[in-house]
Amino acid sequence: MRTQDIVRQLKLLPSYLRLSLLRTAEDKIQLWGAFATSIISIVLYMFFWNVITYQIPVLTGVGWVVWGRAELTFLIGVTEIAWGFGSFAYMGLWEVHWYITEIGLEEFRIRPVSSIYQIFAQNFWAGGLLQVAIGGAMLFLSTITFGLVIIPINLVLGIFALLIGQAALYILWGCLCCLAFWIGRNQGLLEVSDAVEMNFARMPIDIMPFGVQYFLTFVFPVIFISTAPTMIILGYLPLQSSLFYLGIAGGLALLWIVVFRFLWARGLKRYQPVGG
């Protein structure tokens, strides 16, 4: 990508963000629905883990972490922050297959800005920031309630692990969406991927069998939605292990960015306008 293209996109970004805020403010039903859904989801998962920890006071993983009520409550807050930021920043990726198969890419291809950037930018959902705030409040309350100690360097490393790992997971999702250029609508495949994330994101993945851990770390990296960031932020991993997780996340993010760019470029060459 040329330097002038990057500069042009950065100049347009504030306008896209402003439009996102305006759309969110206008659609109050969706906004309050997201708020209610987040609260209900948190309450249900807190009830679930309270039942589990009542029967089994701690869950021991194969690594360094002993998951008790404090750690599991913190995990819920981290997950809510991750999902909120994902809804805000990556909503466009989740819509790519619809643009390819039903909405069309024609209007994007005639503009002097990357078509995939336009899909990303016009699908920012500012309501996701509400989920981030709810998750942040959850972390604050769990820290105060259970007396958890957060060291700044661990917080920084944990946030990096979450952001980079989340990028790897969702760009992988974007690669699956790009398959629509060749196989048409692939909603079923995406729903399976979504189900894997939804079912494992609020689970401490290091208590799973090794094969499941491997899959959810190196293949479909759900571990970076909450498990790895929680372990790092709470200081339950040695620095070397924290850096190891960051290295995995960074490597996967670079890999899927390269694959995504390849699939998008090849797909555009065979793209047929919707209805054409």
Alpha helices in the chain (DSSP H): 3-26, 28-55, 69-89, 91-98, 106-109, 115-121, 128-146, 152-178, 180-183, 187-200, 210-214, 227-233, 239-270
The region of weakest confidence among 12-16, 68-72, 225-229 is 12-16
DSSP annotation string for 67-98:
E-HHHHHHHHHHHHHHHHHHHHHSHHHHHHHH
> Is 77 a residue whose pLDDT tops 80?
yes
User: What is the pLDDT confidence band of residue 114, given thresholds at 50, 70 and 90?
Assistant: confident
What's the pLDDT score for residue 31? 79
User: What is the pLDDT confidence band of residue 99, given thresholds at 50, 70 and 90?
Assistant: confident
What percent of the chain is predicted at pLDDT more than 90? 43
Among the listed residues 83, 53, 82, 84, the one whose alpha carbon sits nearest the alpha carbon of residue 70: 53
Rounded to two decimals, the pTM is 0.88
- Please tell me which residue, 168 or 186, carries the higher pLDDT value: 168
- Dig out the tokens for 155 from the structure: 């917080």
DSSP annotation string for 163-208:
HHHHHHHHHHHHHHHHTHHHH---HHHHHHHHHHHHHHTTS-GGGS
Residue entry with tokens 């466009």:
92
> Is 228 a residue whose pLDDT tops 90?
yes
Torsion (CA) 148, 154, 157, 160 in degrees, nearest 10: 30
Beta bridge partners of 60: 66
Domain map of the chain by residue range? 3-270
- Dig out the tokens for 170 from the structure: 């969702």
Q: Which residues make Cβ contacts (< 8 Å) with residue 56, sequence separation at least 6?
A: none
Mean pLDDT for the stretch of residues 70-96 = 90
> Is 5 a residue whose pLDDT tops 80?
no
Read off the pLDDT of residues 124-162 as tens digits, 9 standing for 90 and up. 888 888 899 999 999 999 999 999 989 999 999 999 999
Q: Which residues make Cβ contacts (< 8 Å) with residue 166, sequence separation at least 6?
A: 82, 85, 86, 90, 224, 225
Beta bridge partners of 59: 67
User: What is the pLDDT confidence band of residue 4, given thresholds at 50, 70 and 90?
Assistant: low
* Alpha carbon distance 159, 169 (integer Å): 15
What's the pLDDT score for residue 62? 60
